[in-house]
Amino acid sequence: MHELSLCRAISGVVARHAQGREVSVVHLDVGALRQVVPESLVFCWGLANADTAWAASELDVRMVPATIDCLDCSTTTVLDDPFLVCPACGSAAVRITGGEELLVTSIDLVDTQDRVRGRGGGAGRGRRASARTARHPQRAA
Ligand SMILES: [Zn+2]
Q: With contact defined as beta carbons under 8 Å apart, do 115 and 20 qualify?
A: no
The stretch 75-89 carries a mean pLDDT of: 89
pLDDT tens string 34-64: 889 999 999 999 889 988 888 899 999 999 9
What DSSP letter does each residue of 53-85 carry, written as one string? TTTTPEEEEEEE-EEEEETTT--EEEESSS--S
CA 135 to chain centre: 13
Q: State in Å: Cα 85 to ligand 1 middle.
A: 8
* 89, pLDDT greater than 90: yes
CATH number given to 2-139: 3.30.2320.80
The pTM for the full model equals 0.71
Q: State in Å: Cα 30 to ligand 1 middle.
A: 26
- Given phi > 0 = left and psi -120 to 50 = alpha, else beta, which region is 82? alpha
Q: Label the pairing between strands 58-64 and 23-31.
A: parallel
Protein residues near ligand 1, an ion, with CB under 5 A: 70, 72-73, 75, 86, 88-89, 91
Q: What pLDDT is recorded for position 136?
A: 65
What sign does the dihedral 6-84-81-61 (CA atoms) show?
positive
